Structure 1
């Protein structure tokens, strides 16, 4: 009887340990998170009438994340409807805000409006209707002060980024920031580190705007800031452009079309996979990208 009891005891103990082990060591499949394939969505009013078309395009093109601009002229119920449908398709929606003026402390009130709106929206929305992240696009280098008083501008930019990051974390949301690929070449006023390293340290992820139309060039431009993100334990997404513009044809895939862009992005993805920080691709922006696809090339 004692041997039988001991056998039952050890069998029960083994089962318990296996069960606890399965909780402590989830499978690789459960741990793995899909890399982003994202796009910016600036014209938020389109979600009023075109949600199905937008989400069908996203599904057809592998998009799993939208950066959707906060627009107070679009009522919350439209956001809720769109995000609910996106969630049902496995697509995340991050609230998007920012402009170069957000670098200035005199414009701090704009940041407060953005944070207050996001907090109120999240509180009123059902779980499947909520944003799952915050995305900021500030770009201080666009302002005239970048040339005339850069040191002061950078300090104000730092102050506002801190304010935003603290506000977003109070909402229990991750924050991602857009940065140009060359930001690592500029240091803070005290020369303690690069501007890119500093902002990477303050956010959860960055989108490196490596706007070129050849895979090797895109990847090479993104390397320095991906490396900084790796060192800091953060994530980096590589972005490309599809809009036409006056900065040169090599900046955008507007001339090449969507098929060539997809081929180049597959190569970028393969090359960037060796970086621990690499977390996917982003295409700027929805309407221009859709125009490429609709052109059929």
Structure 2
């Protein structure tokens, strides 16, 4: 795929009917900077969330299992933002099972998925969820059964749109035989371009592609060039350049960088205005992953 010089600040119609800014916010780091802790200061996290919405974010990604020491992302979102702005889209994930002590269980079956949706509705204070992702694992052979349980809730009116997280093209096709898929959320970024064929499929079909960990290098050393040079020439931070490159990969990309810092959320959201030159995009495309 060749990165194109698209306008990153243009809105995207999620599911064909929900206009969202292409740079949103991931809520995973609101309870704690790392999912294992330590817990963040609740008022600092509230300020981050409030500032994100002030700066135009209208797409927030969350999950009931984002919690630490009694502080949960869903609880913070409801406390700070409810009653919600009319244009705010809350996307949620179900699939993993997490116990109150923070330990993880086996992936949720259909009954547990339904319980997870109802729990999320209660925590967020909503009658219907805008977008629900089914989080998969690499060799998930029960996609149809599990996705079918969520599709049934969509038919009941509890879910507006369905998505898949951590999916392959094969799993995507399997789910689409059951119900429409409005969004895919996979790990993807400048230094870890996993499953590019999934991004290609989403681009062809107009499905939102929502990369997580797009700012991470996943333990790999980051080459000093050309990232630092491009950042300096544009008067931007390296993180802003990474986000601008990610958004330029396809017009269906919706970035959701998360943070527990007000300064970082401001820096991240400003990346929506960074339009990289074609030669910068080509140099970043050539960076080894």
Q: Same fold (TM over 0.5)?
A: yes
Q: Equivalents in 2 of 1:168, 1:174: separation in Å?
A: 7
Gaps of 5+ in 2: 1-16, 32-39, 98-103, 268-289
Distance (whole Å) between structure 1 residues aligned to residue 262 and residue 53 of structure 2? 14
What is residue 62 of structure 2 aligned with on the other side? 68
For 2:4, the equivalent position in structure 1 comes to none
The aligned residue for residue 173 of structure 2 is 197
Instruction: Name 1:161's counterpart in structure 2.
Output: 147
Partner of 2:92: 95
In the other structure, the counterpart of 1:281 is 255
1:38-187 aligned at under 5 Å gives the runs 38-42=24-28, 45=31, 49-50=43-44, 52-59=46-53, 63-70=57-64, 79-84=77-82, 87=85, 91-99=88-96, 104=107, 107-120=109-122, 125=126, 131-136=129-134, 138-141=135-138, 146=139, 154-170=140-156, 171-179=158-166, 183-184=168-169
What's 1:241 paired with? 214
Larger gyration radius, structure 1 or structure 2:
1
Aligned residues: 221
Determine the structure 2 residue equivalent to 1:150.
none
SS at match of 2:19: coil
Q: CA deviation at 1:163?
A: 1.4
Counterpart of 2:189? 211
**CA separation in 1, counterparts of 2:143 and 2:137?**
7
| SS state at 1:96 partner | strand
- Tell me the residue number matched to 1:260: 238
Q: Aligned pair in 2 of structure 1 residues 96, 271: CA closer, same or farther (>3 Å)?
A: closer
Query: What's the TM-score, normalizing by structure 2?
Result: 0.56
Structure 1: distance between partners of 2:89 and 2:259: 15
Preserved CA contact (<8 Å) 1:68 1:95: yes
* CA RMSD across the alignment: 4.4
Contact 1:197 1:229 in 2 (8 A): no
Return closer, same or farther for 1:271/1:224 CA change in 2, 3 Å cut-off.
same
Which one scores higher on RCO, CA 8 angstroms, separation ≥ 6?
A: 2
Change (3 A) 1:131 1:158: closer
CA displacement, residues 97-130 of structure 1 (integer Å, 9 cap, x when unaligned): 332888857x4443132122245567x65x8xx7
Name structure 1 gaps, 5 residues minimum.
1-30, 147-153, 185-193
